Amino acid sequence: MKTFDGLFAELTEIAKTRPKGSSTVKRLDAGVHHIGKKIVEEAAEVWMASEYQSREEAAEEISQLIYHLQVMMIALDLEPDDVYRYL
């Protein structure tokens, strides 16, 4: 099963090697404004799923929010430790 750090390592490698067909590469190329809008959209979906849908659907939306947050971290050249120090 994938973890936060495992996904971050995978996305970091994708950002370096830029494989064809990667949606992550497309999102990074689209830039911070695009990624930020996606984060807001996914955050709203987490809220809606948590309030009106199942726990399973909420978990899926949370995973997507984590993914888009990680894409933003990579766009900003932030490492997990840069974030963890505030936890």
Residues at the contact surface with ligand PRT, assessed by CB under 6 A: 10, 14, 22-24, 38, 64, 67
Of the candidates 20, 19, 29, the one whose C-alpha atom is nearest the C-alpha of residue 74 is: 29
Nearer to ligand PRT, 14 or 43 (CB): 14
CB of 24 to ligand PRT, least distance (A): 3
In angstroms, rounded to a whole number, what is the distance separating the alpha carbons of residues 23 and 25? 5
Nearer to ligand PRT, 26 or 82 (CB): 26
Dihedral sign, Cα of residue 35, residue 27, residue 73, residue 4: positive
Nearer to ligand PRT, 58 or 67 (CB): 67
Residue whose beta carbon is closest to ligand PRT: 24
CB of 54 to ligand PRT, least distance (A): 16
Question: Which residue shows structure tokens 């490492």?
Answer: 79
CB of 85 to ligand PRT, least distance (A): 24
Label residue 18 left, alpha or beta by phi (over 0 means left) and psi (-120 to 50 means alpha): left
